[in-house]
Amino acid sequence: MGSFSIWHWLIVLVIVMLVFGTKKLGNMGSDLGKAVKGFKDGVKGGEGAEEEKKDQAIDVQAKEKDKSGS
């Protein structure tokens, strides 16, 4: 009684498909996939932006050093 068998899950799946329909479930799945992809890109972009800022700071320091040295 504590765990559900495969038949319980199949019945739940059929009821969900009848209530929402397969098209709406497909749309929700694709929206969820896009959200996860966007989140991953955002996390990767945040790390890349920090490195880019460091590179820009080094470039600015190098240019300032060249101007003062010339």
For the full predicted model, state whether its pTM sits above 0.75. no
Distance CA 25, CA 12 (A): 14
Distance CA 5, CA 11 (A): 10
Residues 29-64 pLDDT 10s: 899 999 999 999 888 876 655 556 666 666 666 666
CB 50 within 8 A of CB 41: no
Residue 52 or 10, more confident: 10
Q: What is the structure's pLDDT at 36?
A: 93
What's the maximum distance between 2 C-alpha atoms anywhere in the chain? 82
| Matching residue, tokens 């497909």 | 26
Distance CA 61, CA 51 (A): 15
